[in-house]
Amino acid sequence: KLATAAAHSSLECVLAKRGYFEGREQYVLYLQRFLAFQEEAERALDTPITLEVVPDWTFRRRAHLARADLEILGVPAQPFVNASGRLTTVTTHEQALGLVYVLEGSTLGGAYLLKQLAPLGITSTHGGSYLSSYGSDRGKMWQRFLFMLEEAHLRGTRTESIAAAAIAAFAAARYYLTEAEPVGTISTERVCSMVA
């Protein structure tokens, strides 16, 4: 957590400055942009190596939830931005754990974000299933993942390599939420200077 704090803080800065949860259109844009990241992450993680350290990985996939939310909200259920190739296929346990750490960590603030969206009529069953993720099992799923991290550490998995993979994943998520080019257009906007 300490090793990835700066990268995490930079991503939170992006979310705050973009106001993704202040209106329906902004939230739709968040879903479309983050769907692109989620789908790339899932493609990278769809390997037997991931299942060796995160046995329940297939249950943790959430791209389909974002697509369902977009359909409910009446917009195309597809990514808003071009694929960037920011993440490579996972080839080590450390890469798998670092990337899953970022994806799973994003579920923790879901309940808070859903409360922010409540005035817009967004709920866990109406446009907010991606944020709701595991619902009341959110805490349990996070603790289960932390146990997997601890098991990997005891088996000699390199913590610094897990942190490096997580930092790269945070950077990819930030790219998708800010700098990735919308399909068919060019964007050079920069939001929030990257924290070192």
Name the percent of the chain lying above pLDDT 90. Answer: 55
Q: Spell out the long-range contacts of 103-108 with Cβ–Cβ below 8 A and sequence spacing 24 or more.
A: 103/38, 103/41, 103/60, 103/62, 103/169, 104/60, 104/141, 104/142, 104/145, 105/8, 105/142, 106/173, 107/62, 107/133, 107/134, 107/138, 107/141, 107/142, 108/138, 108/142
The pLDDT value recorded for residue 191 is: 42
Give the distance, in angstroms, between the CA of residue 128 and the centroid of all CA atoms in the same chain.
15
The pLDDT value recorded for residue 77 is: 79
The pLDDT value recorded for residue 17 is: 75
- Average per-residue pLDDT for the chain: 85
Residues 98, 26: Cα–Cα separation, whole Å: 28
Alpha-carbon distance values, 145 to 44, 140, 151, 154, 185 (Å): 18, 9, 10, 14, 38
- The answer to whether the CB of 62 falls within 8 A of the CB of 133 is yes
The pLDDT value recorded for residue 112 is: 85
124 C-beta neighbours (distance < 10 Å), count: 15
| Residues with pLDDT less than 70, the chain | 1-12, 16, 82-84, 180-196
The pLDDT value recorded for residue 83 is: 65
Q: Which three-class secondary structure string do you get for 89-137?
A: CCCCHHHHHHHHHHHHHHHHCHHHHHHHHHHHCCECCEECHHHHCCHHH
- Give per-residue pLDDT as tens, 128-166: 999 999 999 999 999 999 999 999 888 888 888 999 999
Residues 174, 33: Cα–Cα separation, whole Å: 10
